[in-house]
């Protein structure tokens, strides 16, 4: 009689399923067919979309998956205030304010940029959610300002906790490692997954999840700002933290290929390009799919270009993981 021995990846997946999450009401998001979009822009590949823009909580988006994991230990550990950061129209800041409100935590957001005279879109939602806002001049000023805010709150007898930009920590990345299991429950694995990336947490989670499920899926992250070496370093650092959370060695994901392309950024973060505008229009007019012109639309533009010029095989099934951001359309 032979005894079966569980693979380390199976043990890790069981550990992943046991980790507590904050109750933010996440259900499996749909996978829609984008064949009309593909036909309209001349693609031969089968194009699908995973609709994380349709997450119902707090106007959705990829940050909800990550915040479920990040906030749970803060609640049980006695924190009373979350401190985070972002731009004026940051989706992460809005999602963090929403998640904090839902679990009974105060939220303080360090914002780089000028305070708007009339808040709109995410800035308006932050206000409605009761977050306090502190404005700083540039992106490089955010982390020091968060640390100072935490110190002020501790001196006032509060119990603050800093959540980094994008909730891109090893714990946050578990949200997307788990999402790969959700994806597989909905059908066969795609040949290619395309997504927008910036702070690295979504990329790290998708790559770790594919590795744990032994998938040959190619994962392409289209950077919205930083160059590929910088993004890759961040993704790899997060994955090295994911392993120990799941009972694996820190180097468990070291051989995973990290593919990042920043050639669709254009003039800079938060600025649209002709290609992103074209992709945005095509998605809306062929499938009533809304992508924001400065982030997710750039990744969709990258997908279209890769499919057209053969960098993605014509026979491939390509899944565009829509990470949200549609609130920014109303800024």
* pLDDT range class, residue 105, cuts 50, 70, 90: very high
Asked if residue 66 belongs to a domain, the reply is no
Mean pLDDT, the chain, as a whole number? 96
* Residue, of 269 and 99, whose pLDDT is higher: 99
Residue tagged active-site, from 39, 90, 168, 263: 90
| 306 shares a domain with 217 | yes
Asked if residue 114 belongs to a domain, the reply is yes
| 36 shares a domain with 173 | yes
Predicted confidence at residue 136, as pLDDT, reads: 97
For the cut 70, the answer to whether the pLDDT of residue 3 exceeds it is no
| 312 shares a domain with 293 | yes
For the cut 90, the answer to whether the pLDDT of residue 131 exceeds it is yes
Residues ≥6 apart with Cβ < 8 Å to 4: none
CATH number, domain containing residue 112: 3.40.50.1100
- Per the structure, the complete domain to which residue 117 belongs is given by 80-158
| 31 shares a domain with 92 | no
Read off the pLDDT of residues 82-94 as tens digits, 9 standing for 90 and up: 999 999 999 999 9
Asked if residue 5 belongs to a domain, the reply is no
| Separation CA 197–CA 199 (nearest Å) | 7
Given 138, 158, 178, which residue is the final one in a domain? 158
| Separation CA 21–CA 68 (nearest Å) | 5
Burial of 264 (0-12, 13-18, 19+ CB in 10 A): buried
Q: For residue 226, give both structure tokens.
A: 């930083």
| 237 shares a domain with 101 | no
For the cut 60, the answer to whether the pLDDT of residue 209 exceeds it is yes
Number of compact structural domains in the chain: 2
Read off the pLDDT of residues 145-190 as tens digits, 9 standing for 90 and up: 999 999 999 999 999 999 999 999 999 999 999 999 999 999 999 9
Residue that the structure tokens 């095509």 belong to: 282
φ/ψ (deg, to 5) at 46: -85, 125
Asked if residue 273 belongs to a domain, the reply is yes
Asked if residue 319 belongs to a domain, the reply is yes
| 125 shares a domain with 104 | yes
Q: What is the mean pLDDT of residues 4-23?
A: 90
Residue percentage of the chain with pLDDT more than 70: 98
For the cut 50, the answer to whether the pLDDT of residue 64 exceeds it is yes
Predicted confidence at residue 169, as pLDDT, reads: 98
Q: Is 90 a catalytic residue?
A: yes
Read off the pLDDT of residues 212-271 as tens digits, 9 standing for 90 and up: 999 999 999 999 999 999 999 999 999 999 999 999 999 999 999 999 999 999 998 888
Read off the pLDDT of residues 287-310 as tens digits, 9 standing for 90 and up: 999 999 889 999 999 999 999 999
Q: For residue 250, give both structure tokens.
A: 């820190």
* pLDDT range class, residue 4, cuts 50, 70, 90: low
Q: For residue 37, give both structure tokens.
A: 């979009």
Asked if residue 269 belongs to a domain, the reply is yes
* pLDDT range class, residue 1, cuts 50, 70, 90: very low
Predicted confidence at residue 7, as pLDDT, reads: 83
| 174 shares a domain with 48 | yes
Q: What is the mean pLDDT of residues 30-54?
A: 98
| 296 shares a domain with 236 | yes
Q: What is the mean pLDDT of residues 98-125?
A: 97
| 239 shares a domain with 125 | no
Q: What is the mean pLDDT of residues 58-84?
A: 97
Asked if residue 142 belongs to a domain, the reply is yes
- Consecutive H or E run containing 184: helix 170-185
């Amino acid at each position: 009689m032979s005894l079966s021995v569980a693979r380390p990846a199976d043990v890790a997946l069981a550990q992943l399923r046991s980790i507590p999450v904050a109750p933010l009401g996440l259900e499996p998001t749909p996978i829609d067919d984008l064949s009309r979009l593909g036909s309209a822009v001349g693609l031969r590949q089968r194009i699908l979309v995973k609709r994380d823009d349709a997450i119902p909580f707090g106007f959705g988006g990829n940050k909800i998956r990550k915040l479920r994991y990040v906030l749970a230990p803060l609640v049980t550990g006695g924190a009373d205030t979350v401190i985070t950061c972002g731009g004026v129209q940051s989706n992460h800041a809005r999602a963090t304010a929403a998640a904090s409100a839902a679990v009974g935590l105060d939220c303080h957001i360090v914002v780089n940029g000028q305070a708007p005279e009339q808040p709109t879109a995410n800035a308006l939602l932050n206000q409605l959610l009761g977050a306090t806002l502190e404005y700083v001049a540039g992106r490089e000023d955010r982390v020091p300002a968060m640390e100072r805010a935490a110190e002020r709150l501790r001196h006032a007898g509060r119990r603050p906790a800093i959540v980094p930009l994008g909730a891109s920590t090893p714990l946050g990345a578990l949200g997307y490692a788990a999402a790969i299991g959700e994806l597989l429950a909905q059908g066969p694995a795609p040949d290619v997954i395309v997504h927008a990336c910036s702070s690295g947490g979504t990329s790290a989670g998708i790559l770790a999840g594919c590795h744990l499920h032994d998938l040959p899926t190619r994962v392409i992250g289209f950077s919205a700002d930083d160059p590929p070496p910088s993004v890759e370093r961040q993704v790899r650092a997060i994955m090295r933290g994911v392993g120990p959370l799941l009972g694996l060695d820190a180097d468990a994901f070291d051989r995973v290929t990290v593919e990042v392309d920043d050639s669709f950024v254009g003039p800079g973060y938060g600025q649209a390009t002709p290609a992103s505008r074209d992709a945005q229009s095509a998605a809306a007019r062929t499938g009533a799919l809304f992508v924001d012109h400065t982030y997710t639309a750039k990744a969709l533009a990258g997908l279209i270009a890769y499919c057209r010029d053969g960098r993605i095989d014509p026979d491939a099934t390509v899944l565009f993981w829509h990470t949200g951001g549609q609130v920014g359309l109303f800024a």
